Amino acid sequence: MTIEKKGAGEILLAHGGGGLLSRRLIEEVFLNAFSNKYLAPLNDQAVLSVNRSRLAFTTDSYVVNPIFFPGGDIGRLSVCGTINDLAVGGARPLYLSASFIIEEGLAFDELGRVVKSMADTAREAGVEIVTGDTKVVERGKGDRLFITTAGIGVVDDSVDLSPSLIRPGDVIIVSGTIGDHGIAILTHREGIRMEAPVESDCAPLHSLAADMLKASGGGIRAMRDPTRGGLSSTLNEFAGSCMCAMVMDEDKIPVLETVRGACEILGFDPLYLANEGKLVAVVSPDAAPPVLEAMRRNPLGRDAAIIGAVEAKPGGKVLLETSIGNRRIIDMLSGEQLPRIC
Beta pairing partners, 148: 61, 99
Q: Is 267 in the site for a copy of itself (CB under 8 A)?
A: no
* CA end-to-end distance (rounded Å), the chain: 25
Q: Which pairing describes strands 245-249 and 318-321: parallel, antiparallel, or unpaired?
A: parallel
**Among the listed residues 92, 185, 99, 178, the one whose alpha carbon sits nearest the alpha carbon of residue 134:** 99
Are 214 and 94 within 8 A, CB to CB? no
Q: How far is the CB of 131 from a copy of itself (least distance, A)?
A: 4
For residue 46, the one-letter residue type is A
Considering only residues 20, 88, 91, 100, which one is a binding residue for a copy of itself as defined by CB under 8 A?
Answer: 100
Kindly determine how many residues on this chain lie close enough to bind a copy of itself according to the rule CB under 8 A.
Answer: 80
Q: Is 62 in the site for a copy of itself (CB under 8 A)?
A: yes
Q: Which of residues 153-172 bind a copy of itself (CB under 8 A)?
A: 154
Per residue, what are the HEC states of 281-316?
A: EEECCCCHHHHHHHHHHCHHHCCCEEEEEEECCCCC
Q: Is 26 in the site for a copy of itself (CB under 8 A)?
A: yes
Residue placing its CB nearer to a copy of itself in the complex, 134 or 164: 134
Q: Is 45 in the site for a copy of itself (CB under 8 A)?
A: yes
Considering only residues 66, 112, 168, 289, which one is a binding residue for a copy of itself as defined by CB under 8 A?
Answer: 112
Residue placing its CB nearer to a copy of itself in the complex, 119 or 243: 119
* DSSP-assigned letter for residue 159: -
Q: How far is the CB of 18 from a copy of itself (least distance, A)?
A: 9
Three-state SS for 232? helix
Q: Is 141 in the site for a copy of itself (CB under 8 A)?
A: yes
Residue placing its CB nearer to a copy of itself in the complex, 58 or 216: 58
